[in-house]
Structures are given as structure tokens and as C-alpha cells.
Amino acid sequence: MLIEGQSFIDAQDELSCLEFMRKYNMPERINTEVFIAMAKALDFIDPDKLSMTVVLTAMNRFLNEDNGLQMAFLDGNQPDRLCKPMKDYIEERGGKVLTKKRLKEIVVNEDGSVKHFSLADGEVVVADEYVSAMPVDIMKRFVPKKWSAMPFFRQMDELEGIPVINLHMWFDKKLKNVDHLCFSRSPLLSVYADMSTTCKEYYDEEKSMLELVFAPCSPIAGGNVNWIKKSNEEIIEATMGELARLFPTEIAADGSKAKLLKYAVVKVPRSVYAAIPGRNKYRPSQETPIPNFSLCGCYTSQKYL
């Protein structure tokens, strides 16, 4: 990778992490100690399902960018600390941010360019430039008929989002923790953090609030169970069992140690695109053949993941 650069990285897309590892006679402990945690963190997927290009791209960023390994948390909730400042920035410069305005249709001109966006409430939005930040599964549903036969848009049929579940769990006591995002090799849990330590808004010296990514949670991601279809109670029960295995001195599956006060389960049936082997060549560029329409999002081809 260091010698051949990006061309070598791109060429590995047909291989999963495990296939790459075995092709180059890497010891199995590399999978156990590195690839499992990386794959689950990068795409909520097991290493036998993940394209090696994704892992190598991440490693390349780590090696070539001074701050490539840095991680940070918002100091509060996303609506107030992330979305509101962006909204304020736009509005201070004369722009508008419209919410609860569902898109009904992308209406095009005879030449294929975007004429306007038609919203579900009947409103029409006319602009100089249109940008879609919709996930790939949603974007495919809105591709106008006039665009549908174009190879650029047809290639997106080969892409789909990966399911993931986010968990928020409040405990009655402070758990041992680190002030950082933790990467897990657990079969059920991906990354997690004690937000009562890492985040200013949720800081609490006496009680812990864990946020966890439950993954893989479906067969496409390598899981044996389709957890998306399970009840919230079943998901929390499985999570408590896994936390008890990982932290036996603090958490017990029967609740006899740290008590779970409340929880929230957020199911996302389609999240980031499934970066399984052979998909990289189908990722569209952010510049499209449509002169006034652009794409953005994790499934588009760009220098990150």
C-alpha cells in the first residue's frame, strides 16, 4: 500500500478483508485483533463481508494525514450543537432552511436538466443548483424516468444501505470507563462510549449513559440474526448479556449489579452503503451528467470512505 498507493488500494475491492489476509499469508490474529473491530466500526459489518479497499483507505488516511487518527465528540445533542449552527450560518447570509418538507418528485426539463423539486405539500422549489444528500436507497426511488436508463444512475442499483441499530442506555451508577470512543470485537456490539464522561451535556459523575452501535444486525452484514425485526426488549436483553460478558465485575445480565434505568433503541434499516466486495466500481461520482444536479453522501466516490 505504501509503495503502490491508491491504485493498489482500489484493486483490492474484489477481496474481503479475510480473503486479502489469506492471499498475503497474514496470521489469523490480525483478523481477531484488528480487522473485526475495524470492519464493524467502518461499515457495521463483519470482515468476511467487507471490501478490503475500505480498510486500506482508512489506513491510508491514518498514515498520510496528521489528524487522521483524531476523534471527537459533540459537546451536546446534534440538533442544538451541530444542526442549529449550520442553520444560523445559512440564514445569516440570506438563505432558508426548510424542515418537514418531504420531496415528492424531481421534475426535469426536455433536455434532462432539473426543472424544479415538487414537494409533498404541493410547493415547488426552483433553484440554480440541486444537490441530493439522500441515502442511496432513497435516491434510487427518486431518479426521474428520463434519467433511469443512463448508465450513471443505473449503476446505483448495485448499491444498498446496511442496517444498524443505535442504543442509548442509562445506568444507576458510574461504570469504569475511558474518555474516548471504544472499538469492540464483540459479535453484537461495534463502537461505544460512556457519554456521561465524553460529552459535556451528558456529564455525570455518579451515573453512566452508554451509547452503543449494535452491529452486525442482519445477514447482509454478517450477522446470524435479523435483529432489525426483533423487539426492543429482545435487543436490550441481548445487549445486557453481552455487556455482562465484557464487563463481568460491573454488569450482570439479570440486573443484579448496575441497574438499567431506561433505554432507547433506534433502528436504521438502511444506513451507510454496504461496502461489500466488488461494489466500489458502482459508486457514482458526485458530479453527475445532469448540469444542475449533484450528489453527495457515503455511497458516492470521494477520497474518504
Give me the pLDDT at residue 68, please. 67
Element (H, E) at 233: helix 232-246
Banded model confidence at residue 247, pLDDT cuts 50, 70, 90? confident
Order of strands, edge to edge, in the sheet holding 114-119? 103-108, 114-119, 124-125
Q: Which pLDDT tens digit goes with each residue over 193-212?
A: 999 999 999 999 999 999 99
115 and 192 part of one domain: no
Domain membership of residue 259 (yes or no) is yes
Query: Residue 220 above 60 pLDDT?
Result: yes
Work out the number of other CB atoms within 10 angstroms of the CB of residue 128.
5
- Name the least confident of 36-40, 226-230, 236-240: 36-40
92 and 53 part of one domain: no
If you write DSSP's letter for every residue of 239-268 in order, what string do you get?
Answer: HHHHHHHH-TTT--TTSSSS-EEEEEEEEE
Give me the pLDDT at residue 105, please. 97
Domain membership of residue 300 (yes or no) is no
Domain membership of residue 228 (yes or no) is yes
264 and 171 part of one domain: yes
- Which distant-in-sequence residues (6+ apart) come within 8 Å of 42 by Cβ? 50, 54, 55, 58, 275, 305
Domain membership of residue 305 (yes or no) is no
117 and 170 part of one domain: no
Domain membership of residue 51 (yes or no) is yes
108 and 154 part of one domain: yes
Q: Which domain holds residue 95?
A: 88-160+284-295
Contact 166, 292 (CB under 8 A): no
Q: Are strands 103-108 and 260-268 parallel, antiparallel or unpaired?
A: unpaired
263 and 189 part of one domain: yes
Give me the pLDDT at residue 112, please. 95
Calpha distance 278→14 (Å, rounded): 5
Q: What mean pLDDT, rounded, does the chain reach? A: 91
Give me the pLDDT at residue 174, please. 93
99 and 12 part of one domain: no
Domain membership of residue 303 (yes or no) is no
23 and 57 part of one domain: yes
If you write DSSP's letter for every residue of 46-74 in order, what string do you get?
Answer: -TTTSBHHHHHHHHHHHHH-TTTT-----
53 and 149 part of one domain: no
Query: Residue 66 above 80 pLDDT?
Result: no
Phi/psi for 80 (5° steps) reads -80, -40
Q: Which pLDDT tens digit goes with each residue over 85-130?
A: 999 999 999 999 999 999 999 999 999 999 999 999 999 999 999 9
Domain membership of residue 156 (yes or no) is yes
Q: Which pLDDT tens digit goes with each residue over 2-31?
A: 566 778 888 999 999 999 999 999 998 989
Q: Which pLDDT tens digit goes with each residue over 266-291?
A: 999 988 899 999 999 999 999 999 99
96 and 240 part of one domain: no
Domain membership of residue 69 (yes or no) is no
Give me the pLDDT at residue 44, please. 86
Give me the pLDDT at residue 158, please. 96
Query: Residue 304 above 80 pLDDT?
Result: no
Banded model confidence at residue 177, pLDDT cuts 50, 70, 90? confident
Q: Work out how many domains the chain is built from and give that number.
A: 3
Residues of the chain with pLDDT > 70, as a percent, come to 98
155 and 168 part of one domain: no
Query: Residue 134 above 80 pLDDT?
Result: yes
174 and 258 part of one domain: yes
Give me the pLDDT at residue 164, please. 92
Contact 240, 246 (CB under 8 A): no
Task: Tell me what percent of the chain is helix, strand and coil, each rounded to the nearest 5.
Answer: 35, 20, 45
Q: What CATH number corresponds to the domain at position 249?
A: 3.90.660.10
